[in-house]
Each structure stands twice: as structure tokens, then as C-alpha cells.
Amino acid sequence: MQSGQVIVGKYRLNQLLGTGGMAEVWSATNVFTEREFAVKFMSPEVAKTPEHAARFLKEAKVSARVNHPNIIEIIDVGQSDDQQLFMVMELLSGVPLEVAMRRQTPRMTIPEFVFVMTEVASALAAAHRAGVVHRDLKPSNIYLHRDKNQAAVPKVLDFGVSKFLDDGAPNMALTMAGTVLGSPLYMSPEQARGDGDLDGRTDIFAFGAILFEGLSGLRPYDAANFNALIVKIATTAPRDIDDFAPDVPAPLRDVVKLCLEPDRNKRVAMFETVAEELIKILPDLEREPAHLPAPMTILSTDDPDATNALPIVRAGDRPTSVPPPAAQLAAPHFAAWQNPAANLSHTTAPTSIAPPAPRAAPQPAVYAMGAAAAAVILALLIVLVTVLRREPKIITVTGEPRTPASVPVVAPASAAPSSSIPMVNVDTLPMAAKPTIPLEKGRGRLIVSASPGWCVVTVDGVLKGPTPLPALDLSAGTHHLRCEAPGKKPKAVSLIITEAAAANYKFTLD
């Protein structure tokens, strides 16, 4: 591949962003739309191995099935004229969570870290609902991406070792000779034992391991080598967060402990519950934003088996449309995190998390795990976790009237909702200030608030976070909003968004 080369008559290669054992990644521009992407080309030698090619292509299938803003978007996949497999992805700019967790100046705060993990929980909840289990969640597979407005958007990467729960495949993971799929540092006990009936709870354990590491500076398990680590995870309890992060608020430590429960039958079963609990904790964390502790573990990014879906853009070797390195590598104190629970998936009703039974005494020794590998084949049969959503009673909500604006009304984009949910046209709502950032064609802007107090808002089933929300840019047409607050009746409304209009909507809570 070379700069200026056009792939399949559509993607013009710009610059080489990075190379690895399995693939190389280029920035590229669609010659028709002029949008910039990252294009990953699989090494022809690697592609000769069916398992490698299958993992490469699986990422595209997962993205298409889940379609979540916190999962890296795969736009296209195909073969070049010389039969080289390629994948077209959104171009990310930022740093992996693993790097952000270890940055010293300035340090990442606990609220920022919990915000990131809440969005990760949202993404994985969506994946599980779509019948996909990740199986290799780790800090290096979570990327802190800056979008075009410099807002921070956590992205979950590398679904190459994921499992479709309904594909009828045999109970074997995609493996390569002499390797284990999944990172042992974050592996669940059932995965370490090679149990043949894994389900989404294995991702929840890995999620808890990341929480533990961020809040304590240590990993829940460490050992002198790969084999010892696998045995320890499979047969012993993890370190207790109470012993290694006693200053972390107890409700947050309780979430960590329930995620890290060795007995999966006692472990929290759904990411919706995890996200809900983290959202409830965030306001208290924001009031006294402590920093993450200094890490006491080495980086775990040495993962030659990974499909490396992420194009890590390096200083001095960058496409011109990507923010400069100084902006990209700044600490994760992004302005967009002022509302730390924004852009999450729909969650279920709050579920109380009680501390699990006392654990075994923690292991005192701390070891640095190397990149050793051993030949282990794990039999993995993933069982779908059925996500049950509570549907509380809907009551009528009305907006404050205003003089209609002289802009055309766009017909509703979806079928009319139930008669119990009111329909409100934004032309009857108070106008918001003229947008300082231009709206894209076919979109309108909505600012949602609540009074008295606050509520958690979902739009079309996607959780946007607690009020007051930042401005939402929505496609013209009908959108269904829902508002829930502790101890108050949930409310819902359907709004007809008008192209180019900006309006306010306030939920009245009682």
C-alpha cells in the first residue's frame, strides 16, 4: 500500500498510521464524500490462517449488529484489487483508557473514570442485548476518543474474540495455535477454568477488574507468570477492594465487589444494573472529585494476538484533519464531561447492590506480569443473558407554549406512540438560543431540563443522563423522551423535532 492509492475505487490512502503483526492501518478519504476514515489492511500472510480472517471479519459483524455510539463503528469491509482484506472504521483520535489511567500530570479523577466506565457498561449492555459477548475487555480495548466538537466519547474496541450467542457455532472459541483468547489479567474464574457455558457475566467480571485497577492502582489478581495467574484466578478469590482502596466511597466499592464476585451465580447479571448504580453514585463523586491513585502495575498493551482495531495516531505521522498531539494527549479532563452520565444506553430500574459475602484474605505479594504465553484451549459456550426492561406507568407531560417559528414542520419519522404519551411539536415550545455550532441538514436542537429537581432522561431508548442535559442534536421527526427520578413518577413525551429549530423542553416532576 502507498499514499495516494485508491482502494476499490472509493478510498484514497493518505498516511500510514501504524503497523502490527496482523495488520497495518492507514488514514483514508472517501473520494465521493470527502469523509476521512481509518482503513485496516490484514497482512496477506496472516489472512491465510482461517481463524485470523474470521476474527478480522467478526469485528464488522459485531459493529453492524450492535450499532452503539460507544462501540467503534465499522463502516465497510471488503477485499482490495490484490485480494487483501480491509476494514473501514471511524478514525479515532485520543488515548487508550490504560494510558489515561496512568497519566500523572494531571491525574484522571475518579468521577471521570467512573463516567467512562458507565458508558462502557452501556455499550456492553447493548452488545449483550444484541447477543454478543466481548470476552476480552481490558483498559487497552477502551479508547477515549475526541469527536469533532472535542467531546470525550469512550469507545469499546476489538470484538474479534467475541461470540455471537445465536450463530449455532460449536462450543469453541476462535483460537490460534499456542494461545488463549482473552487477556488473563482481566479474565473471569469461569473463563480461566475453561467452563463450557460462559455468558455475559464473564464481561462483567472483566469490567470489575478494570474498576478495581483504576481505583486501587493494582489488579485484582497478579502472579509471577501466566500459568500461575490462570490457576490463581480459577481457584482463589480476588483481592478485596476494601483493603486496597478504603478511601473510595463505599457504594462504589460495593459495585466493584459485586462485579468481581467469583461465583457467577452471585455476580450481578446485567450491565444495565451496573450502569444504573454508577449513575446514582456519580453526583456524590462529583462533589469531592478525588484523583485515581498512582498505578502500581505495568502496562498490559503487549497483546500480539489482538486484532488491533484501533488506529493509534502518532505525533509526527498524522492526517491533517486530526487534532494536534498536544490536544489529543491532554489529560482526560474534557469539558464535555461536565455532564458525566451523558450518552448512555437505556438502563433498567435501579437495583440495590448489597456487599457480597466476606472474601478470603488478600495475597500480599505484588508481581509484574510479563507477556508469557502458554498453550491453553478454552471451551466457550455463551448463554444469552435476557435483558428484562421495566416499563413504568406513563403520565401526561406538557410543554410551555410559545409563538410558532416560521420553519417547516417535518412529518413524524416513526409511527404514532401510544395515546397515553402526549405528542408535542417543538414549534409550541420556548425557543432556545440560536445555535453557535451550525446544525447539520435535517436536524434540530433540543435542550432538556426538569423541575423541581432532576431526572435521568432517555431519548428513543438511549440514556442521555441526568438533567440539565447539554444540547441534543436530533434528526427531524418524532422522538420519544422519558424522564425518571428517584421517588417520583416516571414521565414520557413524544416530540416532533423541526429541521433547523432549537427549542427547550422542561419535564415537570411531582
Architecture of the structural domain at 423-508: Sandwich (2.60)
Positions of the chain with pLDDT under 50? 161, 164-181, 300-419, 432-436
d(CA 253, CA 235): 23
Q: What is the pLDDT of residue 166?
A: 46
Q: What is the pLDDT of residue 272?
A: 93
d(CA 351, CA 83): 51
Fold of 95-302: Transferase(Phosphotransferase); domain 1 (1.10.510)
Domain with CATH 3.30.200.20 in the chain: 6-90
List the Cα angle 83/87/88 in 5-degree steps: 130
The x, y and z cell numbers of residue 145, run together, are 476518543
Domain with CATH 1.10.510.10 in the chain: 95-302
CATH of domain 6-90: 3.30.200.20
Count of CB atoms within 10 A of residue 151's CB?
Answer: 15
Q: What is the DSSP string of 231-288?
A: HHHHHSPPPPHHHH-TTS-HHHHHHHHHHT-SSTTTS---HHHHHHHHHHHHHHHHHS
Q: What is the pLDDT of residue 320?
A: 31
In degrees and rounded to multiples of 5, residue 266 shows phi and psi of: -100, -10
Helix, strand or coil for residue 401?
A: coil
Domain with CATH 2.60.40 in the chain: 423-508
Pair type for strands 23-30 and 462-466? unpaired
Cβ-proximal residues to 493 (8 Å cutoff; 6+ apart), any chain: 397, 399, 421, 422, 424, 480, 481, 505, 507
**Which residues make beta-bridge pairs with 109?**
291
Q: What is the pLDDT of residue 438?
A: 66
Q: Provide the residue type at 363 as one letter.
A: Q
Helix, strand or coil for residue 141?
A: helix
Reported as a single tens digit per residue, the pLDDT across 251-265 is 999 999 999 999 999
- The Cα-based distances of 72 to 23, 153, 399, 415 in angstroms read 17, 10, 36, 30
Question: What does pTM read for this prediction?
Answer: 0.59
Contact, 116 vs 167, CB < 8 A? no
